[in-house]
């Protein structure tokens, strides 16, 4: 089963990346005010790529670009663009372009758009909609921001269970107001409670006279309208769902969520975890210098506070350090190893909590594992660093102190790395957000205290 060919990574690196020369050509056209060239350049591109192009150019260029493109603006770009840019782009667009764009969208996309806008632009969008769509959007906005209700679309295809395949197909052929894309027919009882689902592929391959109730899949999942979007995404991923009916508290069908929406949420949440672990919030590449400085400040401030705490610990041993200056040279090693080991454990823990793999049922086993991993790696690195310390400064006792402090700090790192995220999660705090600061505070303080404290006792 050996590989017979290799992926061409050089080509692969470039796949789907916007070509720099395209960007230059677009900017040239914008500067020259040459609208025909601009329209022609953009013609072959997908809205998502044009949205990416927006992120690659600077704010002044963005505005000039939007204004020049104007009447030919591809409305779908609005659904794809970074939310931070949306307000300005819509402000720069003529009313009729915004109206046309919004009228073509499914309600879930309109809701997604409006969520990210300021009041005046929200009004412009709502005014552009026809009454039923406006009501649908306003209803969706009544649901909490992070709920299934905000994610679902109202447009869906449902049928009563007594229909045949032929009746359903005839209905679909007649009905003009179908969703842009749909994958299932939701079967409902007279109270509008979903009782089954018929995937289009099933509908397609059955004879016309077949009863829908015969081919319907009764093992389907409904999504409660108040469920969190994170749980919705988890369910789609866990159960390989393509679309799912959404129901209200009375179990009545109110909408449908499709996999593309769930995929977006899933990706957003993984992205959020990565960034929160590094203390950069929901920063993006389009943020300017000021907002980036502001977003990174809080985490650096927390880190300053914790490193001052660590310094206070060191200050208690000033005399010891004055007596043996080697301690100052070696002490950052112990603290740094603890910080890294702690980060390893907490990253695994944070992701396992997010994917619901770390539960009350296996927490004890995992804590035990971390304890032993800390011990074993602690012993190995204690031996290495002990020898380094001994050779460097010719003192056996210094090596012993380094070694003991290393074992201690790696064990503490493992335990802090698992117990702090579990504790934060239980307390209702996002473990991705706060674990890092707590864990490194613990490993810094324990690292410096164990090393310098032992040195004070054993070396002086």
3-state SS class at 36: helix
Q: How many CB atoms lie within 10 A of CB 280?
A: 15
175 binds its own copies (CB under 8 A): yes
- In the chain the first and final C-alpha atoms are separated, in Å, by 63
Residue numbers 425-444 binding its own copies by CB under 8 A:
428, 444
Q: Which stretch binds its own copies (CB under 8 A): 31-39, 84-92, 94-102, 340-348?
A: 340-348
Residue 159: CB minimum distance to its own copies, A: 12
CB of 397 to its own copies, least distance (A): 18
List 166, 179, 423, 453, residue binding its own copies (CB under 8 A): 179
The residue ranges of DSSP E strands in 22-87, in sequence order, are none
How far apart are CB 71 and its own copies at their closest, in Å? 22
Least distance to its own copies, CB of residue 295, Å: 9
Minimum separation from the CB atom of position 263 to its own copies (A): 5
Q: Which stretch binds its own copies (CB under 8 A): 29-37, 47-55, 89-97, 188-196?
A: 47-55
Run of H or E including 398: helix 396-426
Here the tokens at position 98 are 């915004």
- Cβ contact 413:364 at 8 Å: no
Q: Which is nearer to its own copies, 195 or 270 (CB)?
A: 270
Binding track over 372-411 against its own copies, x by CB under 8 A: xx--xx--xx--xx--x-----------------------
User: Least distance (Å) from its own copies to the CB of residue 400?
Assistant: 18
Q: Which is nearer to its own copies, 70 or 167 (CB)?
A: 167
Under rule CB under 8 A, residue 46 binds its own copies: yes
Provide CB contacts within 8 A for 268, sequence distance 6+: none
Cα–Cα distance measured from residue 46 to residue 67, given in angstroms and rounded to the nearest whole number: 19
Number of residues that bind its own copies (CB under 8 A): 143
What helix, strand, coil percent values describe the chain, rounded to 5?
70, 5, 25
Range 306-325, binding its own copies (CB under 8 A): 307-308, 310-311, 314-315, 318, 321-322, 325
- Cα 385 to its chain centre, rounded Å, is 39
Q: Which long-range contacts (CB under 8 A, 24 or more apart) does 3-11 make?
A: none
CA distance 38 to 313: 63
Distance (Å, whole) CA 439 – CA 343: 7
3-state secondary structure 217-261: ECCCCCEECCCEHHHHHHHHHHCCCCEEEEECCCCCEEEEEEHHH
Q: What tokens appear for 414 in the block?
A: 């493992």
Handedness of CA 419, 424, 426, 432 (dihedral sign): negative
Instruction: Examine residue 359 and tell whether it contacts its own copies (CB under 8 A).
Output: yes
Which stretch in 19-27, 64-72, 89-97, 98-106 sits in contact with its own copies by CB under 8 A?
Answer: 19-27
Stretch that binds its own copies, among 64-72, 89-97, 188-196, 205-213 (CB under 8 A): 205-213
Kindly state the smallest distance separating residue 243's Cβ from its own copies, in Å: 10
Contacting its own copies (CB under 8 A), which of 65, 69, 163, 182?
182
Residue 263 makes contact with its own copies by CB under 8 A: yes
User: Residue 224, SS3?
Assistant: strand
């Amino acid at each position: 089963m050996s590989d017979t060919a290799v992926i061409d990574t050089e080509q692969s690196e470039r796949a789907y990346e916007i070509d720099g020369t395209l960007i230059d050509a677009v900017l040239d056209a914008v500067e020259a005010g040459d609208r025909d060239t601009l329209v022609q350049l953009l013609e072959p591109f997908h809205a998502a790529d044009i949205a990416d192009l927006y992120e690659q150019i600077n704010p002044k260029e963005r505005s000039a670009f939007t204004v020049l493109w104007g009447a030919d603006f591809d409305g779908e770009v609005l659904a794809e663009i970074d939310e931070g840019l949306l307000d300005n782009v819509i402000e720069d667009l003529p009313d009729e372009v915004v109206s046309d764009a919004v009228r073509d969208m499914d309600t879930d996309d309109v809701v997604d758009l409006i969520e990210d806008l300021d009041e005046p632009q929200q009004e412009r969008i709502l005014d552009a909609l026809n009454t039923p769509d406006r009501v649908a959007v306003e209803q969706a906005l009544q649901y909490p921001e992070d709920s299934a209700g905000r994610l679902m679309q109202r447009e869906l295809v449902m049928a009563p269970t007594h229909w045949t395949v032929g009746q359903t197909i005839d209905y679909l052929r007649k009905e003009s107001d179908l969703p842009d894309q749909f994958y299932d027919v939701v079967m409902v009882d007279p109270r509008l409670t979903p009782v089954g689902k018929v995937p289009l592929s099933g509908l397609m391959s059955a004879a016309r006279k077949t009863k829908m109730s015969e081919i319907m899949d009764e093992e389907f999942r409904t999504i409660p309208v108040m469920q969190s979007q994170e749980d919705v995404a988890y369910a789609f991923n866990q159960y390989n769902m393509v679309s799912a009916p959404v129901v209200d508290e009375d179990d009545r069908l109110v909408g449908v969520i499709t996999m593309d929406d769930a995929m977006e949420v899933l990706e957003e949440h993984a992205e959020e975890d990565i960034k929160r672990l590094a203390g950069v919030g929901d920063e993006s590449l389009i943020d300017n210098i000021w907002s980036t400085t502001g977003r990174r400040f809080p985490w650096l401030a927390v880190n300053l506070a914790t490193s001052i705490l660590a310094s206070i610990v060191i200050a208690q041993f000033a005399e010891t350090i004055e007596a043996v200056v080697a301690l100052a040279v070696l002490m950052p090693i112990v603290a740094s190893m603890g910080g890294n080991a702690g980060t390893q454990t907490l990253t695994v823990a944070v992701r396992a909590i997010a994917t619901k793999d770390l539960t009350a049922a296996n927490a004890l086993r995992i804590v035990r594992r971390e304890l032993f991993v800390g011990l074993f790696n602690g012993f190995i690195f204690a031996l290495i660093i002990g020898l380094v310390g001994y050779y460097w400064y010719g003192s056996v006792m210094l090596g012993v102190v380094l070694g003991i402090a290393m074992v201690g700090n790696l064990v503490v790192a493992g335990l802090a790395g698992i117990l702090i995220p579990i504790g934060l999660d239980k307390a209702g705090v996002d473990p991705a957000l706060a674990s890092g600061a707590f864990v490194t505070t613990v490993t810094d303080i324990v690292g410096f205290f164990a090393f310098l404290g032992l040195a004070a006792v054993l070396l002086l």
